[in-house]
Structure formats: structure tokens, C-alpha cells
Amino acid sequence: MQKKHLLLAVLVTAVWGINFPVTRLGLADIDPLLLTALRFALAALPWVFIVERPRVAFRWVAAYGLIFGVAMWAMINQGIAWGVPPGTASLLIQLSAFFTLGWGVLLFGERVGRLQWLASGLAAAGLMGIVLCRPGDASTAGFALVIGSAVAWSIGNIIIKVSKVREIFAFVVWASLFPPIPLLLMTWLLHGSAPFTALPAQLNAMTLFSLAFQVYAATHFSYWGWNLLLREYPVSRVAPLSLLIPVFGIASSMVILGQKPSPSNWALIWVVLLALALGSGSAQAVWGRLRTHGRTLNDQIRGVHK
């Protein structure tokens, strides 16, 4: 990978990681569902009048928008609002890789290797430990929502795979048209008019910065950069770089919010990171080469003995 592209990859994953504590800053005042609705409204408008619609069936755009906005990010924001530390949320969302693996087995008949089974077991163990060792202000429901958002992201990955979309940036912009109305309706049904009447007073400098970061840095810039990398390099080389997201998420949460994981949580975080690393495409490729070299060496030894 060229140095400029490697720098872009680090910058994109850093923005995505920092986005978690920055989102928490916005959630300090604004209702989680309303904040999510505002994010996607600003991500879509006025950009849909500038960016050409992606050349895929409109049903895929709508389905991805509802999954990405209503299912994934609304659940992440609500989970963080219910006490899940942003750094931990940035880690748990990466479990979507294993859920995507499961969809591949069920829908496309893909095979799961030994290393992937080991990685899945380690991830499950680390995840269970993190939930059991949750901080006092974090609810089990909050963790369930963040884990559910990882499932939603995996479904979004399947939608992208099936739709065969090439214009990822345009796809995200146009898909962002669909979450705001359902999210606004959900906000009204759950909380009435209170979040809306309180919104003007809540739009202070901090919440405006949080919204701007979510829209223009975490959505527009980062998806453009990630799409560029996916066009230039094989997915197996790009995808493992997402492991940097929780690293930046946890580090930035410590700096911005002063949230420091306990020693037991640090150990569990490293277990999950190890699981994600083992389950990545690069680890699978290395494992495959080692097995091939091992079989070749074994055949050579047998040939010598004969």
C-alpha cells in the first residue's frame, strides 16, 4: 500500500474511532433518536441534489438507509446514552465481522475455517466478560443495543454485497434520505414533543460541533476515503485496518471523556482485539500459506524417506 493511502487509512479509522466519544458529547443534551435523525438529514441534504444517484435498484438504497440509520446508528446512540462507554461501543461494533461471516455461511454457503472458529470463540468469551464487567451506569439493555447494531451493520454489508454497488459515497448520501422520518416519528411516539421543543436551546457550540463531525468527518469524508481504498486495493488488505477503529475509540474516550477501562476490562478488550485480528482476512491468508507450506514440507520429507 502506498504511503499516501496508508496515511488515508489511518486518518479514516482515527476519525471513525474519535466519532464515538464526539457523539457522546452531542448525546449530553439531545435525545439519541433525534440526534441520529439530524445526522442523517444533514448527511442527505442538500447533497442529494449534487451527487448523482448510485446506479443500483432503489430498494437497495432504501433498505441500506433504514438498516444503517434506524437499526445501526440509532441503536449505537441509544446504547451510549444508556451508559455504554463510547470506547467499548467502538470495539463491540467490530463484532459485525463475525456476524457477516455467519450470514456468508447461511446465505452463500461459505465455509468457516478453524482459525475463524477460534476467533469467534475468543470474541464471544471477551464479549461476555465485557457485559458482565460493565460499569455501574451502563445497562444490559445498552450493551444489547450496541451488539444489535453490530448485527445491523453485518446486514448492511450483505446489502452492499448483493446490490453490487460501486459508488459507495453516493450510496451513503442517498441512503441517508430514509432514516430521518422514521427516527423523528419514533422520537415523537416515545417522548412526545419535549425533545423537539427543547432542541433550539440544546443547539450549543458543543452539540453543533458533534453534529458537524458526525456528518462531514465520520460520514462524508470517511466513507469517501474508505471507498477509495477499496477501489485501489483488495478487500483482504483494507478490511483488517478497521481494527484501528476501537484503538482510536478507546484512546480518544480516555482523552475527551476521561473514561479509563479497568484492568479487567483492558484484558477483555485485548481478548476481543486478538479475536478480531485472528478472524481478519490477512490472518486467514497467512494461516492458509502456513498450511500449504506445511503440507509441501511434509510431502518432501515423505519423498526423502521413500
Separation of alpha carbons 210 and 25, rounded Å: 6
Answer whether residue 80 is part of any domain. Answer: yes
Answer whether residue 19 is part of any domain. Answer: yes
Answer whether residue 293 is part of any domain. Answer: no
Answer whether residue 296 is part of any domain. Answer: no
| Average pLDDT over every residue of 2-30 | 90
* Residue 94, domain extent: 3-280
Whether 263 shows a pLDDT value over 90: the answer reads no
The chain-wide mean pLDDT, for the chain, equals 81
Answer whether residue 302 is part of any domain. Answer: no
Whether 283 shows a pLDDT value over 60: the answer reads no
Whether 201 shows a pLDDT value over 80: the answer reads yes
- Domains of the chain: total: 1
Select the more confidently predicted residue: 238 or 302. Answer: 238
Rounded to two decimals, what is the model's pTM? Answer: 0.78
DSSP state letters, 21-49: HHHHHHHTTS-HHHHHHHHHHHHHTTGGG
Select the more confidently predicted residue: 297 or 31. Answer: 31
Separation of alpha carbons 182 and 184, rounded Å: 5
Answer whether residue 239 is part of any domain. Answer: yes
Q: Give the confidence band of 239 by pLDDT, cuts at 50, 70, 90.
A: low
Whether 41 shows a pLDDT value over 90: the answer reads yes
Residue 293: the pLDDT is 43
How many angstroms separate the Cα of 107 from the Cα of each of 78, 91, 290?
30, 26, 29
Answer whether residue 189 is part of any domain. Answer: yes
Whether 178 shows a pLDDT value over 50: the answer reads yes
Whether 220 shows a pLDDT value over 50: the answer reads yes
Answer whether residue 291 is part of any domain. Answer: no
Q: Give the confidence band of 75 by pLDDT, cuts at 50, 70, 90.
A: very high
Residue 136: the pLDDT is 56
Select the more confidently predicted residue: 18 or 236. Answer: 18
Select the more confidently predicted residue: 96 or 30. Answer: 30
